[in-house]
């Protein structure tokens, strides 16, 4: 189904590479000279303050916005993502924050919504088997694929939305704030699911404001600030380093305040950021 399957990168190989990507909206520079690399089997967290450019970057990769400058390489070749359909067809899937699920339809119907051209479409038995198989592979906790979305928890809905995008066999999946509205147990469930998606060999980009979730799941943490790259970190990087990169704070008191806000106050931090 995807044009890239025959040259799908193996784990550890580069799936996505951005060079000098910029995006202007009139006089507003939402992104300036962005460099980004995502490998197969890797979770990259995109973090940054409000207005840092995270959603704009995801929308550029989803084919919603066209970059004003720069190049995008996907699975080893330069691509033009001039529509959402093109991005999907190449193997770039996006789970937007609103999930776009139909409340009154069941899990199977939602999984296959918009996949009408797929070989299983309109064959109810085949779709149900495919749905069960995929959800089992993902160890998803969905009681029944005939359950309407309206009766599922937030975590289960996120699971259905992620599973739906996997049906198109993407090489890269982007998740915008997948745990934002979830409680502790459901967050853990979704983070586990993201790990299993990664283990299938996909490149994963996750946007999150929650540093705890980011540390739990990301292999690399890419900070954007005011539309520019502002450092690449690992889950082992100190919270102070991360918060300083996100806020641009050189003043220790500012970074301490932001740290407390992110739930990681470490009173032992003494040095300037
Ligand atoms: N369609 C648009 N037209 C004009 N300006 C835009 C548009 N989309 C985004 N911007 C501007 O681009 C900048 C980056 O916004 P973006 O939504 O990408 O930030 P973000 O990192 O996703 O922030 P948040 O954490 O609040 O979601 C902001 O200054 C924003 O106002
Ligand atoms: Mg955003």
pLDDT at 117: 53
pLDDT category, 123, cuts 50, 70, 90?
A: confident
pLDDT category, 168, cuts 50, 70, 90?
A: confident
Hey, is 50 helix, strand or coil?
A: coil
Closest approach atom of ligand 1 to CA 209: 25
pLDDT category, 8, cuts 50, 70, 90?
A: confident
pLDDT at 98: 79
Going by the DSSP 8-state scheme, the letter that residue 151 receives in this structure is G
249-271 burial, b if ≥16 CB within 10 A, otherwise e? beeeeebbebbeebebeeeebee
Supply the mean pLDDT for the chain.
87
Q: What angle do CA 258, 260, 264 make, to 5 degrees?
A: 110
Residue ranges of domains in the chain, CATH in brackets: 14-237 (3.40.50.300)
pLDDT category, 243, cuts 50, 70, 90?
A: very high
173: enclosing H helix or E strand: strand 172-176
Using alpha carbons, select from 210, 202, 107 the residue that is nearest to residue 159.
107
The percent of residues in the chain predicted with pLDDT above 90, rounded, is 66
| Dihedral over alpha carbons 102, 103, 107, 113 (to 10 degrees) | -10
pLDDT at 127: 85
The HSE-up count of residue 227 (CA atoms within 13 Å, CB side) is 14
The model's pTM is 0.87
- Length, in residues, of the chain: 273
Question: How far away, in angstroms, is 200 Cα from ligand 2 center?
Answer: 27
Question: How far away, in angstroms, is 30 Cα from ligand 1 center?
Answer: 6
pLDDT category, 93, cuts 50, 70, 90?
A: very high
pLDDT category, 182, cuts 50, 70, 90?
A: confident
* Ligand 1 pocket test target in 24, 26, 28, 57 with most atoms within 8 Å of CB: 28
* Ligand 1 pocket test target in 36, 53, 211, 247 with most atoms within 8 Å of CB: 53
- Per-residue pLDDT of 196-230, as tens digits, reads 999 999 999 999 999 999 999 999 999 999 999 99
Q: Do the Cβ atoms of 247 and 255 come closer than 8 Å? A: yes
- Per-residue pLDDT of 18-30, as tens digits, reads 999 999 999 999 9
Residues with CB under 6 Å of ligand 1 are 25, 28, 30, 48, 50-56
Residue 5 in this model has a pLDDT that exceeds 80: no
Who contacts 121 (Cβ-Cβ below 8 Å, separation ≥6)?
112, 115, 127
Q: How far apart are CA 202 and CA 240, in angstroms?
A: 30
pLDDT at 262: 55
Q: Please state the rounded mean pLDDT for residues 180-200.
A: 91
């Amino acid at each position: 189904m995807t044009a890239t399957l025959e040259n799908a990168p193996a784990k550890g190989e580069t799936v996505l590479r951005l060079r000098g990507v910029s995006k202007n909206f009139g006089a507003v520079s939402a992104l300036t000279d962005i460099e980004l690399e995502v490998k197969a089997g890797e979770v990259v967290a995109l973090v940054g303050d409000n207005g840092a450019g995270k959603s704009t970057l995801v929308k550029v990769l989803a084919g919603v916005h066209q970059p004003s400058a720069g190049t995008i390489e996907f699975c080893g070749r330069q691509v033009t993502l001039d529509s959402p359909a093109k991005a999907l067809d190449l193997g770039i899937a996006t789970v937007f924050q609103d999930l776009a699920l139909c409340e009154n339809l069941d899990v199977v119907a939602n999984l296959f919504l918009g996949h009408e051209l797929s070989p299983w479409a309109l064959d109810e038995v085949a779709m149900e088997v495919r749905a069960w198989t995929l959800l089992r592979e993902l160890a998803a906790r969905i009681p029944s694929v005939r359950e309407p979305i309206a009766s599922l928890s937030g975590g289960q809905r996120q699971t259905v939305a992620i599973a739906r995008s996997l049906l198109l066999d993407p090489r890269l999946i982007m998740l915008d704030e997948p745990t934002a509205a979830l409680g502790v147990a459901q967050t853990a469930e979704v983070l586990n699911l993201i790990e299993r998606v990664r283990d299938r060999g996909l490149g994963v980009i996750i946007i999150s404001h929650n540093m705890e979730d980011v540390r739990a799941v990301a292999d690399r943490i890419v900070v954007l600030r005011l539309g520019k790259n502002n450092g690449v970190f690992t889950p082992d990087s100190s919270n102070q380093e991360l918060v300083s990169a996100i806020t641009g704070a050189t003043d220790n008191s500012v970074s301490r305040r932001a740290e407390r806000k992110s739930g990681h106050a470490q009173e032992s931090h003494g040095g300037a950021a």
